[in-house]
Amino acid sequence: MIDHNIVLLKAGSVKRHINRIIEKRNVDLQTFLNDIDRQEIILFNLQMAIQNCIDIAAHIVSEEGLGVPGSISEMFYLLQEKGYIDGELSEKMIKAVGFRNLLVHSYGKVEIRQVYEIIHKHIQDLSKFLITILDRLGISDK
């Protein structure tokens, strides 16, 4: 049985990390490229926001017995197959997982210009995941 308190706790963490990213992203690209502290704050919060989305997915997959995923990304396919999220959102979350893996395992290979694009054009994918999951579970986060 899905523990709504766990989902709400993780969702709150995602929101806090996203808000921190939004606070720090509002500079032009050149300022961003030259501000290592800003980059590190954003990278940490991006990693944690994605990780908390992964944790939510893992909790649902496990508690609902949706299958045994062979990878983190596969959890999002299982959520899609069972109607928790649509295909487009599943693909976006799989890309987020791939980026998180790059952050965790190959920090030196992260392209900072790509980070700038992600935080301006794709951060809302994590919010959409939360909204979709909370709605599907009938959970109010207010």
| Tens digit of pLDDT at every position of the chain (142 positions) | 999 999 999 999 999 999 999 999 999 999 999 999 999 999 999 999 999 999 999 999 999 999 999 999 999 999 999 999 999 999 999 999 999 998 888 766 889 999 999 999 999 999 999 999 999 999 987 6
Place of tokens 């980026």: 99
Residue 93 lies in a domain: yes
Q: Which amino acid does the sequence have at 54?
A: I
pTM of the complete model? 0.94
Task: Please give the residue range of the domain that contains residue 89.
Answer: 4-137
Domain count, the chain: 1
* Chain centroid to CA 4: 18
Residue 123 lies in a domain: yes
* Chain centroid to CA 102: 14
How confident is the model at residue 106, as a pLDDT? 77
- CATH number, domain at 51? 1.20.120.580
CA end-to-end span of the chain: 22
Residue 142 lies in a domain: no
